[in-house]
Amino acid sequence: MSCSCNYFLLRGAHAPVGSKERLCRHLRRFYAQRGGLAPIVNMVLLDDVHFCESDQLWSGEVEGVPVAIAWREGDPWVTLYSRNNSPGQPAQFERFNYHLGRQDWADGRMPRFNAAVIKSMLGEWFGQ
């Protein structure tokens, strides 16, 4: 896969095949619209954050709910995605921001189903 945009020509084309840095927003949109990916993967692909080489991305389940967590070395803000609507409906994911230093959610917004466990995971990962 390749693209003719500036991002791809300047950066993406030089990134290893299979790495997230290879994906410009056009390729991300292509993969998201082609379907077949988990809804949370689509949300991360379509969001315009955390596709730099230095950004780290973790995905898995927390309390049975799919979660993706993205962070950048030296940045106290962690971005995460988690399901936030009622069980029994098609999953909808939202983005949340957490400040490692303050150990608190931005604007008091936190994931509905797993905020406490995520908070304690982040404490373990980042040493609090």
26 binds Zn ion (CB under 5 A): yes
Residue closer to Zn ion by CB (options 34, 102) is 34
Instruction: State the number of CA atoms in the 13 A half-sphere of 26 facing the CB.
Output: 10
Residue closer to Zn ion by CB (options 6, 92) is 6
How many residues at the interface with Zn ion, by CB under 5 A? Answer: 5
3-state secondary structure of 88: coil
Residue closer to Zn ion by CB (options 10, 116) is 10
Q: 22 is written with which tokens?
A: 């290879």
Q: Which of 24, 40, 78, 115 binds Zn ion (CB under 5 A)?
A: 24
CA–CA separation, 27 and 32 (whole Å): 9
